[in-house]
Structure 1
């Protein structure tokens, strides 16, 4: 199956993109242990994608009147001693205009592709996985180890994956299979609930995709969770965790995951990094019977 920007736009999954500049969005820590949040750009999506079966007027009352709304792409980069560890690697050149800016942001941060030692994937959706290859279909980070959850790899590389996806997501599977094939044995299988690297644990946060994971690590003595797409919108995901975004594959499981995460994060005050949250970093606070995202 061919997958192109036209295919994705026609699917209704995304709208016309807005341009975005390469940048370092935020930093945490210092010295030999530092996180830089790198922009991969961003794109626009209709408000209706934020919640199935919820009137757009109700969504707008929570998310704001802008329709479509813009979602950023924030990639976490941990520099720890000699290691340069990316959590996801962006959309690359074949997704949507306005995305695929990671290489520019890496240069802004003073990081060469050859310096990247590890890429840990939260999941294998296009805006997280398709940036793995360069324009010659070779791994963009030639010296890196690439790790993803075994359940996630199994789902996207199965010949039967199309039976479990709506037609407008078939391009996602075709892209994932092409990239996994080109990575070959470099794409390592790992399990949720374990450390994937010393001090970096993968937490099962399935629902958005079957093998979605988030990561817990410590930087400068501060615990941080890299959320991936477990919480994706700065108002809706926190105030209405039971609303079902169109991007969630298993909507009921994803909602249960959000509720569990919000309870935990609200109780512990742990710092979070959101792939699609403006400003990227913040904390979860209880607000009435729900929660809110407080940026830092």
Structure 2
């Protein structure tokens, strides 16, 4: 079994990540209609990160002024669930038992929603970071959703399984690669890959949003004329990511590429009046995006 203490988002996260009391409950944190389908946002818990991780090149006093806090930044983990007909589709599947304290609540949230593990038909990954992937295996290293088809971007899988991946990562993220390789191996023949731009399932198209990871994708879901964009980690903070899309979070693999991606995907959401759901955004993560000059504003659907 992997030791969660070995896994970090940089050395500072290991020291500072703590249980995020209010966000760690198992629960359905939001519901929304999408055409004839239903969207549930399920909590995988949460933890806290140092403010410095919001932007690696921005002075701490500026971050404190922007957030209105001198303390750590609370991070929630939102798993989007699409229920339509006989399908139950998860977008990412949480951190499982071996990441940071406060995470790994998805199984209990599914139970609270009345969703049995063997009723999940598909799990679609935005990317393969621990808090999105490691919940794919249970405590016996078997697939947590035994009847599911698992879908991940081809470029993302190629990056994490490449023999030279460790040369392309700082040492404190080597365990991310080891964990990704272990989980992907555990999924075996159930894993299928796709290219960004493809329709991965009827009405669900993969949108290229690289930078946070090399093969990161978002997903546009359509049901009739209704649409919703699952952002994944293309935007990770409800203020910083929107008001300062040019800031460079410490968790982004290619910060420059992530900045361009963030500006583009938020611009599209604002211009097309798309609803979005973000993995780390508060109040269930569902909302809309507005332009404010050269930047943006996130308007949560939940009051």
TM-score (norm: length of structure 1): 0.96
* Cα distance in 2, alignment partners of residues 250 and 66 from structure 1: 27
1:164-203 aligned at under 5 Å gives the runs 164-203=168-207
Tell me which of 61, 73, 77 is aligned to 2:65: 61
Q: Find the aligned partners of 2:181 and 2:104 in 1 and give their Cα distance.
A: 19
* Maintained 8 Å contact 2:203/2:223: no
Match of 2:19 in 1: 17
Could you say if the C-alpha distance between residues 34 and 166 of structure 1 is closer, same or farther in structure 2, counting changes exceeding 3 Å? same
SS in 1 for 2:158: helix
Counterpart CA distance in 1 for 2:224 and 2:65 is: 39
Matches within 5 A, 1:127-142: 127-142=131-146
Aligned to 1:6: 5
Q: Which runs of 5+ in 2 are unaligned?
A: none
- Compute the displacement of 1:261 (Å): 1.1
Alignment gaps of 5+ in structure 1:
none
CA contact (8 A) 1:29 1:219 kept: no
Residue 218 (structure 2) pairs with residue 208 (structure 1): no
Deviations 1:58-89 (A, max 9, x none): 11111221421110000000011000000000
CA distance in 1, matches of 2:126, 2:70: 28
The TM-score normalised by the length of structure 2 is: 0.94
Q: Residues 206 and 66 of structure 1: is their aligned pair in 2 closer, same or farther, counting only changes over 3 Å?
A: same
In structure 1, C-alpha distance between the alignment counterparts of 2:145 and 2:224, rounded to whole Å = 26
State the distance in 1 between where 2:293 and 2:143 align.
47
Q: Is the contact between residue 271 and residue 281 of structure 1 (CA under 8 Å) also seen in structure 2? A: yes
The Cα offsets for residues 41-70 of structure 1, whole Å up to 9 and x where unpaired, read as 001100000101110111111122142111
- The number of residues matched between the two structures is 295
The separation in 1 between residues aligned to 2:294 and 2:165, in whole angstroms, is 38
